[in-house]
Structure 1
Amino acid sequence: MTANTTVDEYRETRRTRIALLIGFVALTLAVIAAHGAPTEGYELSIYRATPLPFWIGVGTATLLGLSVAVWGPGTKRLGHAATLLTGASVLSVVGLPIIRGYYFYGKGDSLSHLGWARMFETGGLHPIGMRYPGIHTISAMLSKAAAIELRFAVLVTVFVFFVVFLVFVPLCVGAITDVNPAPVVGIVSGLLLLAINNLGTHAVAYPTTQAIMFAPVVLYLLAGYVTDRGEHRRLWGDATAVGACLALSTTAIVILHPQQAVNLLGAFVLISMLQYLYRRFDREHAVAEHRQLYAQTGVFALVFLLWSARYDRVYVAVTDIATGLVSTTTPGGAVTSRAASLTMLGGSLEEMFVKLFGVSLLYVVLAAVLVVAVLAGSVARIDEDGTAYVQYLVLTGVPAAGFFVVFLLANAKTQYFRYHGFLMALVTIIGAAALAIGLDRLRAYRSRRLLSIVVAGVLVAFLALQMIALYSSPYIYQPNPQVTEAEVDGYSAALEHRNESTAFAGIRSGPRRFVDLYYGTTTQAAEQFPWRRNVVPQGNFRNGTLERAFDGETYVPVTEADIERELVLYDGFRYNEAGFDRLDEEREIDRVQANDQFRLYYVDPDAGGTGNLNASGAGGPNASGGGAG
């Protein structure tokens, strides 16, 4: 390459370089702005609490990165830079709880998983004694190796699985088609995180979600394994490096979550059957020429059976589903119940569908078009191996679709949305391939630059619609599952100093998750805690007769999150403002512990307002370390 060529190339790409520079500067300033505004307490919405400069910077960086990537920067290096900018911009949103210094992110199951991880760290439970110890083991090892707190290690582990998903989705798209837009479209499609629906999959420590994020790894290694016709160096006999990696990946997903592993195991069985049929009836087809998956399917099945058959919970789950199928319950009862609640809050099921599944529906259409085109004949930009891989992906969705229907008919709460999440991971890959092929065809038009800006704008709009529904927030009528340090300290002090004969009852839910966190999820103390699920009756709470709701002395913990959720988000739908005010006014109720995020009340129907702190067994007013508030 001559000096003149280098100079000419630089001049031609000068605007592109300036655009990328502006994008990286905007992203850097955005992250600095978010990190410089750490959380100071509970935030009902992480979106509203995050400074506006962060959103402006991320939006600018994403738009510039996508415009350059879709338009075609002229050099491979600039293309990689544009892709990196786009990916880093959206990942900064995914990593917001870490950037803004959240103590922990994820209530409900996530706190129980943190309790399990603590048991691993302290030696109270061995990983082999748990059904899905994957993320707990990784977090405990990361905590020890990096000398960071376990709660933070869990947040990092969740983030890393999102990165894994982002890396392997475009690789899977590349296994279908090698058109120029495939890498960037694959990355953008992965960034949409269509598999997160906030019903059965969540952006928190939730093994089902992490298993789905890992599924593209298995699918990509599957593509490499079946297309290996002996060109790669063998390790021993017929064993190859990619085969060993595939066996390790299927083992890993069993450990991450057996429920999602069943989807892939069923897919392996179906793919093996498809290979057998093509070898029997159409030996000229690419599938017939692919490496047989029989041995890998056998290894996968053996690992799954050896691991899962040991747990009684597996048999209980099968029994529960069978019972649900033969019962007279209405399918989708959980959705029907939520629809009724949404209507009372001023929302609607149709509105929620658009917010949660609007972009997903567009990708379903794209994926369906490509699948029909592939099955009907050949697609010019997909070779024989890519065509076969699309068939494999379609078969991969069959078991998950079947389980979705079964769990829906069995009215298994929102379990069927876990399978929806898995299906959307497949739709992401196939839909991205369809979109990449479409963009490659449009590149032939002369108005390429204008077209690239329009396409980039559409993709940014897709990202915006998905990102504002990624986290639980008032936008989707759900509270932010943030856990503050003061909240954890308050519960810890309450459990440490409690009178063991006094019951607990929580607002909307019992203290179960914090009991799991404090004692360890499956310790004897946690499992035998007698008031794990006790709830404050909303009728008594609203009409000021809380002392009549309980048979005896009762602790009622109230957090700032409870107040924000019930009064601001749900506008007193179940627990009203007057009820919270009465907690500090009724003679039979004493506040025995408090900090700025947590208050513990002691309800004694027979006390008559004596205010005897010692009787509660909760310690003095400074028991939580936060002083009386």
Structure 2
Amino acid sequence: MNERLRNRVTRAAVLSGGGIVFLLAVILSLTPPATGYEFSVYRALPVEFWILAISGLVLCQLLIVRYALWDDDAPVSWRYGVVIALSIETLILSLPYFRGYQAYDRADVLTHIGYIRSIHQYGTPPAKDIYPNIHIVTLSLSYATGIEPLQIINTISVVVPVFSVLAWYAFVVRLYDRRRALLTLPFAILFVAGSAYTNPSPYTQISLVVPFVLYLFVRERQTRSIPARVALAVTAVSLVIYHPIITLFVSGILLVYILVELVVSARSGVDRPRASVGKAVTFQLLVGLFLSWYHGFGPVIRRSREAIRGLLGTSGGQSPLGQYSSAVSSTSPKLSDILVIGFIEYGVSAVFLGIGGLYILTKAYDGLTGRFDIDVYEGTFVVSFVAFAGASVCFLVFDLIVGFGRPLLYVNIFGALLAGPLFYWGYRRLDFRRGVTLFLCVTLVAYSTFGVLSLYHSPLKAEPGRHVTDAELEGSQWLLDHRNRFFGTVEYGITLWRFGDTYFGVNKSSRREMVDPESPLPPPSFGYRTNDTLGSSYETNQYMVITTKGREFYPSMYPDYRDQWRFHDRDFEQLQRDPTTSQVYHNGNVNVYRINGTG
């Protein structure tokens, strides 16, 4: 391909990418915001939006890759691919804003707001707060800007993922030579961490900063500059302050680096130049700060003890693998449904597990043929990849308090870092370059598709949407303000105590503010299978809250499994005629009933 034709192809690709960004923005601006709860943002927007988004990301990936295959120095045009990909990702990450969601998380975010409210009320973090620094920083930003803490969190939930993509770009360009960098970037600048990009919890948000930490570490090792050293120290301290588990993970990565560097140096027989900050000092700093955090917060110690009991099999809880097995055995889903859910939920991780596994096989082949060679960074990535994959298995098999997705996120990170070296090896060592290119293209298409479709919770993943609506905020507040505090609460489609945290804070000072976190679900079919009225199922009066999420849950999530539905349309119709229930509140999306217990 001559230079003129190359320029035409590049110009056409860049213009097409820019056109896709424009069309995506137009579709978002013309699509009305949500009027209520949405089970899936993928259904809320036209299918053309998602086809354009995935196509645009693949186009940007190919625009970057094609420059890696040229023999001459690549012009800067590939950077247009990075910019266009970042623009598309920013639009996708901003969907909660365009859809008008009040918050994109129905669980932890509401309780985090409660902690922030308690700090505002009492001037100090609650004793059980294991993330006080995050809450104090968020409250400080709210004071400084006059913006509500919930909106601060919503903004951070977009800013941090975009920053993470930029950190990935800087890290890969700093780490690798031109060809390896251009073969790695198509994987690194997309949704490496999957749904973590839309999860505003502290763990995922800080995990997205890990590429920046690795960038600073590599830069310090390469430049020995004081600014890089200071930035690395400050960022390391931030990790320790904001999440102890991530500190443990990063400390483990640095330990792996130390060991791999010792092995590589011993194997080569040449002393590698030392950085101005020794690896041992950096590791000791991280460990020391982590221990200070660990021993300073009782909740962390208690949760760690629970994890140890789970590892020893004495916790009495059920492992994620056991939960999956129980769900499959009790519901007997179709194999096709299991495959769809599995690929959408774990497709990104499957891609990176495959890449990491293939890279390990290539190095094993090199060892057998006497051409084994690996530098300290790639060696660190391989060992860390294997270590986190093993940790993921442990978290899957044992009840360790948190899910196996936490270490699996780091499998994705190191799998992405091994993608460039893997395909670079393929182009150098294999005779069928077209086959390598075809495999690379198929992998990129699969990765982009899985990355986009797994980003938000949806029925595709057997998970309903996680956003909070205006109606839910208004309805829950009405009930909390007007309820008889001696009545119990039955809820379906909402977790009322989370909303109670948001309104009253986590330090409840009166019975008015108390919300039972163990509020039960209503009985199947509201008890009409065995009783004539719902009141017969209760001995005392109750409030029952039913949202659109609860009413439409089974038809939207499991339309092909009607025989296993807990509630049917006829049950809701009979509820309206039930003499023991009376509707006391309704706003279109939230219904509150008073149940007169007669049982």
C-alpha spacing 1:536/1:126, structure 2 compared with 1 (3 Å): closer
The C-alpha deviation readout for 1:445-502, integer Å capped at 9, x for no partner, is: 6x8xx99798556523421122112211111111111211111111011111221111
Q: Name the structure 2 match of 1:292.
A: 278
1:393 to 356, 378, 381: 381
Q: Name the structure 1 match of 2:498.
A: 513
C-alpha spacing 1:116/1:347, structure 2 compared with 1 (3 Å): farther
C-alpha spacing 1:137/1:160, structure 2 compared with 1 (3 Å): farther
Q: Name the structure 2 match of 1:429.
A: 417
Q: Which structure 1 segments of 5+ residues have no match?
A: 1-7, 233-239, 608-629
Q: Name the structure 2 match of 1:31.
A: 25
Cα distance, 1:267 vs structure 2: 2.8
Q: In the alignment, is the contact (CA less than 8 A) between 1:175 and 1:389 conserved in 2? A: no
Q: Name the structure 2 match of 1:490.
A: 475
> Is residue 271 of structure 2 the alignment partner of residue 302 of structure 1?
no
Q: In the alignment, is the contact (CA less than 8 A) between 2:82 and 2:189 conserved in 1? A: no
C-alpha spacing 1:349/1:241, structure 2 compared with 1 (3 Å): same
Q: In the alignment, is the contact (CA less than 8 A) between 2:17 and 2:84 conserved in 1? A: yes
C-alpha spacing 1:78/1:486, structure 2 compared with 1 (3 Å): same
1:21 to 12, 15, 19: 15
Cα distance, 1:540 vs structure 2: 6.0
**How far apart, CA to CA, are the structure 2 residues paired with 1:443 and 1:125?**
65
Q: In the alignment, is the contact (CA less than 8 A) between 2:491 and 2:521 conserved in 1? A: yes
**How far apart, CA to CA, are the structure 2 residues paired with 1:526 and 1:348?**
45
**How far apart, CA to CA, are the structure 2 residues paired with 1:280 and 1:455?**
35
Q: Name the structure 1 match of 2:253.
A: 267
Q: Name the structure 1 match of 2:572.
A: 580
The C-alpha deviation readout for 1:48-100, integer Å capped at 9, x for no partner, is: 10134433443453344333332239963422112211232233222211233
**How far apart, CA to CA, are the structure 2 residues paired with 1:568 and 1:582?**
21
Q: Name the structure 2 match of 1:627.
A: none
1:353 to 318, 337, 342: 342
**How far apart, CA to CA, are the structure 1 residues paired with 2:416 and 2:93?**
18
C-alpha spacing 1:432/1:128, structure 2 compared with 1 (3 Å): farther
| Paired letter, 1:352 | I
Q: Name the structure 1 match of 2:593.
A: 601
The C-alpha deviation readout for 1:511-559, integer Å capped at 9, x for no partner, is: 2221222222354569982522211243362526432333311111111
Q: In the alignment, is the contact (CA less than 8 A) between 1:138 and 1:157 conserved in 2? A: no
C-alpha spacing 1:144/1:519, structure 2 compared with 1 (3 Å): same
Q: Structure 2 matches for 1:161-310, cutoff 5 A?
A: 161-174=160-173, 176-180=175-179, 182-183=181-182, 185-193=184-192, 195-196=193-194, 203-228=198-223, 230=224, 232=225, 240-275=226-261, 284=270, 286=272, 292-310=278-296
Cα distance, 1:135 vs structure 2: 5.0
**How far apart, CA to CA, are the structure 2 residues paired with 1:124 and 1:291?**
39
Q: Structure 2 matches for 1:315-394, cutoff 5 A?
A: 315-324=301-310, 325-327=312-314, 331=319, 332-340=321-329, 343-344=332-333, 349-371=338-360, 373=362, 387-394=375-382
Q: In the alignment, is the contact (CA less than 8 A) between 1:342 and 1:348 conserved in 2? A: no
The C-alpha deviation readout for 1:569-628, integer Å capped at 9, x for no partner, is: 135622332332233221111111110111111111259xxxxxxxxxxxxxxxxxxxxx
Q: Name the structure 1 match of 2:61.
A: 66
3-state SS in 1 of match to 2:159: helix
**How far apart, CA to CA, are the structure 2 residues paired with 1:63 and 1:271?**
33
3-state SS in 1 of match to 2:332: helix
> Is residue 29 of structure 2 the alignment partner of residue 40 of structure 1?
no
More displaced stretch, 64-73 vs 123-132 = 123-132
3-state SS in 1 of match to 2:576: coil
Q: In the alignment, is the contact (CA less than 8 A) between 2:61 and 2:186 conserved in 1? A: no
C-alpha spacing 1:357/1:346, structure 2 compared with 1 (3 Å): closer
Q: In the alignment, is the contact (CA less than 8 A) between 1:114 and 1:154 conserved in 2? A: no
3-state SS in 2 of match to 1:506: strand
The C-alpha deviation readout for 1:352-391, integer Å capped at 9, x for no partner, is: 333323343232232233345457769xxx998x710122
Q: In the alignment, is the contact (CA less than 8 A) between 2:253 and 2:384 conserved in 1? A: yes
> Is residue 442 of structure 2 the alignment partner of residue 463 of structure 1?
no
2:485 to 472, 475, 500: 500
| Paired letter, 2:588 | D
More displaced stretch, 251-260 vs 66-75 = 66-75
| RMSD, aligned α-carbons | 3.8
Q: In the alignment, is the contact (CA less than 8 A) between 1:63 and 1:457 conserved in 2? A: no
Q: Name the structure 2 match of 1:591.
A: 583
Q: Which structure 2 segments of 5+ residues have no match?
A: none
**How far apart, CA to CA, are the structure 1 residues paired with 2:511 and 2:406?**
27
More displaced stretch, 491-500 vs 400-409 = 400-409
| Paired letter, 2:288 | L
- Provide TM-score, normalisation by structure 1: 0.81
Cα distance, 1:178 vs structure 2: 1.2
C-alpha spacing 1:466/1:483, structure 2 compared with 1 (3 Å): same
C-alpha spacing 1:167/1:116, structure 2 compared with 1 (3 Å): same
The C-alpha deviation readout for 1:213-252, integer Å capped at 9, x for no partner, is: 1221222222223334x4x3xxxxxxx2222222222222
**How far apart, CA to CA, are the structure 2 residues paired with 1:144 and 1:444?**
61
Q: Structure 2 matches for 1:431-446, cutoff 5 A?
A: 431-435=419-423, 438=426
Q: In the alignment, is the contact (CA less than 8 A) between 1:45 and 1:479 conserved in 2? A: yes
More displaced stretch, 328-337 vs 30-39 = 328-337
Cα distance, 1:399 vs structure 2: 5.8
- Provide TM-score, normalisation by structure 2: 0.84
C-alpha spacing 1:565/1:134, structure 2 compared with 1 (3 Å): farther
How many correspondences in the alignment?
A: 581
Cα distance, 1:345 vs structure 2: 7.4
